[in-house]
Chains A and B, each alone.
Chain A
Amino acid sequence: MSIGSTPLRFRVTIDPDRCMNCGRCIENCSYGVYRKEGDSIRINSRNCVACHRCLAFCPRDAIEIEEKPGDYRSHPVWTREIREAVFNQAKTGRIISGGMGNALPWPIIFDRLVLDACQVTNPSIDPLREPMELRTYIGKKPSSLSIRERPGKDVELLTKLTPNLQIETPIMIGHMSYGAISLPAQQAMARAVHRIGTFMGTGEGGLHQSLYPYQKNMIVQVASGRFGVDIDYLERGAAIEIKIGQGAKPGIGGHLPGEKVCADVACTRMIPEGSDAISPAPHHDIYSIEDLKQLVHGLKEATEWKKPVFVKIAAVHNTAAIAAGIARSGADAVVIDGFRGGTGSAPVVFRDHVGIPIEAAVASVDAKLRSQGIRNEVSIIASGGIRQSADVAKIICLGADAVYIGTSALVAMGCRVCGTCNRGMCAWGIATQKPELTKRLDPETNAVQVENLIHGWTLELGELMGAAGINSIESLRGNRDRLRGYMLDEGLLNVLDVKTVGA
Chain B
Amino acid sequence: MCGIIGVIDRRRQCMDGTKIKEALASMDERGSGEGAGYVAYGIYPDYKDYYALHVFFDNIRENKAPLDNLLEKWGTIIHDEQIKTYEQPGLRKVHTPWRYFFRPDRGMMPKSTTPDEDIVTHIVMKVNSERNGALIFSSGKNLGVFKAAGWPEDVANFYRIQDYQGYLWLAHNRYPTNTAGWWGGAHPFNLLNWSVVHNGEITSYGTNRRYIESYGYKCTMYTDTEVVAYLVDLLVRKHGLSEKMAVRALAPPFWDEIDRMPAKEQELNRAIRLTYGPALMNGPFAICVANENSLVGFTDRIKLRPLVSGESGDRLFISSEEAAIRRIDPDVENITMPKAGEPVIGRVIA
Contact B204–A479 (Cβ < 8 Å): yes
B304 within 8 A of A: yes
Q: Which of A137, A397, A470 contacts B282 (CB 8 A)?
A: A470
Query: Which of B13-21, B34-42, B46-54, B265-273 is found at the contact surface with chain A?
Result: B265-273
Contact A470–B241 (Cβ < 8 Å): no
Q: Which residue of A lies closest to B207 (CB)?
A: A479
Contact A470–B277 (Cβ < 8 Å): no
Contact B275–A145 (Cβ < 8 Å): yes
Contact A125–B280 (Cβ < 8 Å): no
B111 within 8 A of A: no
A279 within 8 A of B: no
Report Cα–Cα, A144/B240, bound state, in Å. 9
Contact A474–B239 (Cβ < 8 Å): no
Report Cα–Cα, A226/B307, bound state, in Å. 59
A20 within 8 A of B: no
Report Cα–Cα, A399/B255, bound state, in Å. 22
Report Cα–Cα, A397/B22, bound state, in Å. 43
**In the complex with contacts A135-B255, A157-B268, A145-B241 CB distance below 8 A:** yes
Q: Which residue of B lies closest to A374 (CB)?
A: B214
Q: Which of B257-313 contact A (CB under 8 A)?
A: 264-265, 267-268, 270-278, 280-284, 301-302, 304
Residues of A within 8 A of B238 (CB): 144
Distance in angstroms from B282 CB to nearest chain A CB is 4
Residues of A within 8 A of B255 (CB): 133, 135
Query: Which of A5-13, A96-104, A116-124, A419-427 is found at the contact surface with chain B?
Result: A116-124
- Number of B residues near A (Cβ < 8 Å) is 46
Report Cα–Cα, A122/B202, bound state, in Å. 8
Query: Which of A146-154, A310-318, A327-335 is found at the contact surface with chain B?
Result: A146-154
Q: Which of A135, A376, A480 contacts B275 (CB 8 A)?
A: A376
Q: Which residue of A lies closest to B205 (CB)?
A: A481
Contact A133–B215 (Cβ < 8 Å): no
Residues of A within 8 A of B274 (CB): 137, 141-142, 161, 164
- Number of A residues near B (Cβ < 8 Å) is 44
Residues of B within 8 A of A482 (CB): 203, 206
A219 within 8 A of B: no
Contact B268–A375 (Cβ < 8 Å): no
A360 within 8 A of B: no
Contact A481–B206 (Cβ < 8 Å): yes
**In the complex with contacts A121-B177, A122-B283, A125-B302, A147-B241 CB distance below 8 A:** yes
B153 within 8 A of A: no
**In the complex with contacts A477-B277, A481-B205, A370-B271 CB distance below 8 A:** no
Contact A474–B203 (Cβ < 8 Å): no
Contact A474–B278 (Cβ < 8 Å): yes
A476 within 8 A of B: yes
Q: Which of B177, B178, B271, B280 contacts A145 (CB 8 A)?
A: B271
B77 within 8 A of A: no
Q: Which of A149, A154, A478 contacts B210 (CB 8 A)?
A: A478
Report Cα–Cα, A472/B301, bound state, in Å. 10
Contact A468–B203 (Cβ < 8 Å): yes
Q: Which residue of B lies closest to A132 (CB)?
A: B254
Distance in angstroms from B257 CB to nearest chain A CB is 9
Residues of B within 8 A of A77 (CB): none
Residues of A within 8 A of B281 (CB): 475
A159 within 8 A of B: yes
Q: Which A residues fall within an 8 A CB radius of B? A: 118, 121-123, 125, 130-131, 133, 135, 137, 141-147, 149, 154-155, 157, 159, 161, 164, 370-371, 373, 375-376, 397, 468-472, 474-482
Jot down 20 A-B pairs with beta carbons below 8 A, ordered by A: A121-B201, A122-B284, A131-B301, A131-B302, A133-B255, A137-B274, A147-B245, A149-B244, A155-B245, A161-B271, A370-B211, A468-B203, A471-B301, A472-B280, A472-B301, A474-B277, A475-B204, A478-B207, A478-B211, A479-B204
